[in-house]
Structure 1
Amino acid sequence: MKRVLITGCSSGIGLDAARHLQANGWQVVATCRRPEDIAARRAEGMECLHLDLSDEASVADCAKAALAGGPLDALVNNAAFALPGAVEDMPRGALRAIFEVNLLGTHDLTTRLIPQFRAQGAGRIVTISSVLGLVGIPWRGSYVATKFALEGLTDVLRLEMHGTGVKVVLIEPGPITSRIRENAIPHFERWVDWQASPRADQYRATLLKRLYEPSGKDRFELPPRAVSTRILTALTVPNPAPRYYVTAPTRISGVARRVLPTRALDWFARRT
């Protein structure tokens, strides 16, 4: 039975991936921040560890505990959060907070596990990026910045791991059913003083409605299982692709980034 560590298993993609991999014969080591979520994953028969990617000591403790439980065959970097708001309204501390989780903590955990993958001559590192790692859209600047950085770091890691037996894969979902919007509200309220912004009217007309008012599914939205199946593929095929697109918007954006001139891509992004 192969053993995989998955971050961000409280809900959404991480939770579904943990359940899907467990159902397909993997020994899952899930991670969560809140004690109640840790207890819930353990009740499902998973090993579950506390992990706060913004805390270097927590990352070190999690990696140590995971490796103490036996050899790991794979890592799925999923945990992340969103912080919506206009770029001009985003204070330095806000960017520092989101980069600590979405990039720096993810990188820290990955590098703590690579030595074991190297030693056994095999391992899979699957990192969940986003369509917003391909094309930026308004109001998502801080999240886009972390995902662009994550894409670049992961691409170079893949190149550097060539010949080691360690396979590095990016998965780029578009709209997926999750609590990311709901979970973004506390971060938005902490960091963005939208009422003092010259864009206050735009916030009222667009972003606030999207954050606070109930709405149906986004166009093209898919359930988390669409990502979980790609994760399983990336972990099991002999030679995984460098990246997997999930949802139509990601496929469209991937093509648009390659073929459209910048002005046309800007027009496309403003209407997304």
Structure 2
Amino acid sequence: MKESILITGCSSGIGRYCAEQLHKAGYNVVASCRRHEDVEALRQQGLNCVQLDLDDTTSIHQGLQECLAITRGRLDVLFNNAAYGQPGALEDLPTDALRQQFETNLFGWHELTQAVIPIMLQQGSGKIVQNSSVLGLVAMKYRGAYNASKFALEGYTDTLRLELDDTPVHISLIEPGPIESHFRANAKSKFEQHIDLNASRHQTSYRKTLERLGKSSPSSKFTLPPEAVLKPLLNILDSQRPKPRYYVTQPTYIFGFLRRLLPTRKLDMLLSKST
């Protein structure tokens, strides 16, 4: 049996695909999902799966303990992946919606990571992989909550890497651009939950946003299947000293380069045209 790995956010998209493929490859995978029905669906496929809701402290620790029972107390890799995007202009965003975004996309990750670190230190090895985003490198309009959570994750992870530099625990970021998933459908639901379109000066742009989020076809010609994220994840698993960062999709490479090259106002001009 290969290394044990806990993957969060496996109900669909990147998490589910990576869990399925790593399981087929012989890794001791423990997938996790927030909803009971998704847990049962993966179990019926033959995967180990636990219920873990990143918005719930009790669920986080209970899910981790169930994972460790499956892996006999060892955890070689944690792949923090579960996240969603809250659309809407920051001026229209209720503070509670921003809190919810950070609860799922950062605070829950911290609580799980904090619980895993002592296990990895005690066993003398481990890897923590954070699934970030191109929007952790550059910002785009109407994605402020998600931008903020991913920018925070980037700083959090850089700090964690420095603090664990003298240990056998390795920290890596994967930074994808557009990937095929249910991300847009979930974002549309969150928009409708928290944003009053008719009361906003951004009505015209919001209607375009809702049209984009409602499409089933890829949102960009650069959109890649979740296999694109599996590739760097496998590189991390196979490496004795994984890299701090792995770019995925052409937009990440482009904007990562332009962020270093262009003055802020020039970069703003480009980003303001992005949708």
Q: Same fold (TM over 0.5)?
A: yes
Q: Amino acid of the residue matched to residue 259 of structure 2?
A: R
Tell me the matched-pair count: 271
1:102-156 deviation per Cα after TM superposition (whole angstroms, max 9, x unaligned): 0000110011011000001100000100000000011111000000000100011
For structure 1, the 5+ residue unaligned runs are none
SS at match of 1:181: helix
SS at match of 2:63: helix
Q: Amino acid of the residue matched to residue 7 of structure 1?
A: T
* 2:129 corresponding residue in structure 1: 126
* 1:68 corresponding residue in structure 2: 69
* 1:247 corresponding residue in structure 2: 249
> How far apart are the structure 2 equivalents of 1:123 and 1:57?
24
| Percent identity between the two aligned chains | 51
Aligned-CA RMSD value: 1.1
Identify which of 161, 165, 180 aligns with 2:164.
Answer: 161
Alignment of 1:129-208 (within 5 A): 129-204=132-207, 206-208=208-210
Q: Does 1:104 align with 2:107?
A: yes
Q: How many angstroms does 1:268 deviate by?
A: 1.5
1:198-236 deviation per Cα after TM superposition (whole angstroms, max 9, x unaligned): 1122222x2121123454451211100010111111122
Instruction: Evaluate the alpha carbon distance shift between residue 248 and residue 213 of structure 1 in structure 2; reply closer, same or farther with a 3 A threshold.
Output: closer
Q: How many angstroms does 1:185 deviate by?
A: 2.0
Q: So what's the TM-score if we normalise by structure 1? A: 0.97
Q: How many angstroms does 1:262 deviate by?
A: 0.3
> How far apart are the structure 1 equivalents of 2:98 and 2:219?
28
Identify which of 117, 120, 127 aligns with 2:120.
Answer: 117
CA contact (8 A) 1:86 1:138 kept: yes
Alignment of 1:77-88 (within 5 A): 77-88=80-91
Q: How many angstroms does 1:163 deviate by?
A: 2.1
> How far apart are the structure 1 equivalents of 2:112 and 2:59?
10
> How far apart are the structure 1 equivalents of 2:218 and 2:84?
21
* 2:222 corresponding residue in structure 1: 220
SS at match of 1:244: strand
Instruction: Evaluate the alpha carbon distance shift between residue 53 and residue 20 of structure 1 in structure 2; reply closer, same or farther with a 3 A threshold.
Output: same
SS at match of 2:234: helix
> How far apart are the structure 2 equivalents of 1:90 and 1:210?
19
SS at match of 1:76: strand
Q: Amino acid of the residue matched to residue 73 of structure 1?
A: D
